Amino acid sequence: MKINNAWLVLVLCLIQSSVYSQYFDKIAEDESMLYAHTKQVNQFFRRFNGEEDRYGERLPLNDKLYQDPAYRRTFIDLLFDQENTTIDPLIKNEFIYKCTQADQQKFLNFHGGEWFAEVKTTFRYKGQEKDLILFLKIQEEEVGSKWVITNVVFEPFLDLFIDVNKLSEEERQFIHPLSHELDFMNLIKVFTSKAVIEQYAEKDFIPDFLTLFIYEYRKQNLQFVTIQDVKFHFFQLDDWYFELSKFNRNSNNSGWLISNLMKINKEDQKVLRSLIFRE
């Protein structure tokens, strides 16, 4: 059976056209995901504030979309981890509404404080690799700003200290209020007994793990190995807390996204901070 050359060329052209069409559709899809991907934390700030369009271009101050409430509502919704089922949709909608009310919009400020980074790292401690969490915040300087370490969470450090409030009455010891009249000779008993030493500290005593971390690092008992994960905690918006995490997905819902959201008053925010810092 003979095949007409013209028909053969037509079939080949159609096949080639289909292949090229699929190829360019894939490019367009990948490009769309690239634009939607919130690649940088600074970009998250701009998108949350309605200062950037969907193509990643900064909006001029005179652009009608710049910080437009309706535009922000759409964008903020896209800045949530859409696969997270633990975020209450009603709380999420209230949050978006409160942030985009036309007469009293709420914006994020990179230099506004009340947000910090949590960096999960691996350090080698006395020959063994262990997880160590560093907390950092932005510190303003006379010229510019910088990230500084504010706190450390490290299990071996936590294990060194005991919560004296959990001691029974029989276990509790104290330095007698007239000890000064004895030239504090009873300190001999304090430092030779097996009593928990923390109970002799002032009641507001909180272990300074950052100092302990620097000391152990200087003594070369701690050696940095790697960074495992980074996330951010935001307390900047009144009565709200949210967590920002990075997601690497082959979808539009990727990059830096809101992974946790809570409506919380100032007093409960203090409690939440203490929980985050393991205090």
Element (H, E) at 69: helix 69-78
Q: Is 220 helix (H, G, I), strand (E, B) or coil?
A: coil
The answer to whether position 88 is within a domain reads yes
- 122 pLDDT more than 90: yes
Query: In this predicted model, what pLDDT tens digit does every residue of 65-96 receive, in sequence order?
Result: 999 999 999 989 999 999 999 999 999 999 99
Residue 181 lies in a domain: yes
Pair 92, 218 in one domain: no
Which pLDDT score, from 0 to 100, does residue 56 have? Answer: 84
* Total domain count, the chain: 2
CA 89 – CA 67 distance, rounded (Å)? 23
pLDDT at 271: 95
Amino acid 45: pLDDT:
96
- Render pLDDT for 150-192 as a digit per residue (tens, 0 to 9): 999 999 999 888 888 778 887 888 889 999 888 999 999 888 8
Rg, Å, the chain Cα set: 28
Residues in the chain: 279
Helices 41-48 and 69-78 cross at an angle (nearest 10°) of 140
Specify whether 94 is located in the same domain as 144.
no
Same domain for 266 and 151: yes
Paired strand residues for 153: 133
Supply the pLDDT for residue 35: 59
The range of the structural domain enclosing residue 92 comes to 41-99
Tens-place pLDDT, residues 199-224: 888 988 888 999 999 999 999 999 99
32 in any annotated domain:
no
Does residue 168 share a domain with residue 207? Answer: yes
- Is the CB of residue 241 less than 8 Å from the CB of residue 261? yes
Judgement on whether residues 95 and 120 belong to the same structural domain of the protein: no
Answer whether residue 207 is part of any domain. yes
Q: Which of 279, 244, 12 is nearest to 151 (CA)?
A: 279
Model confidence at 256: pLDDT above 70: yes
Task: Give the predicted TM-score (pTM) of the model.
Answer: 0.82
Residue 144 forms part of a structural domain:
yes
Kindly state whether residue 268 falls inside one of the protein's structural domains: yes
| Domain co-membership, 147 together with 213 | yes
Say how far residue 230 (Cα) sits from the centre of its chain.
Answer: 6
Please report whether residue 105 resides in a domain. Answer: no
CB 244 within 8 A of CB 231: yes
What is the predicted pLDDT for the residue at 18?
A: 52
pLDDT at residue 23, rounded to an integer: 35
Instruction: Show which of 68, 99, 130 is a domain's final residue.
Output: 99
Average pLDDT in the chain: 87
Q: Are residues 212 and 77 in the same domain?
A: no
Q: How is residue 210 written in tokens?
A: 């950052």
Residue 28 lies in a domain: no
130 shares a domain with 90: no
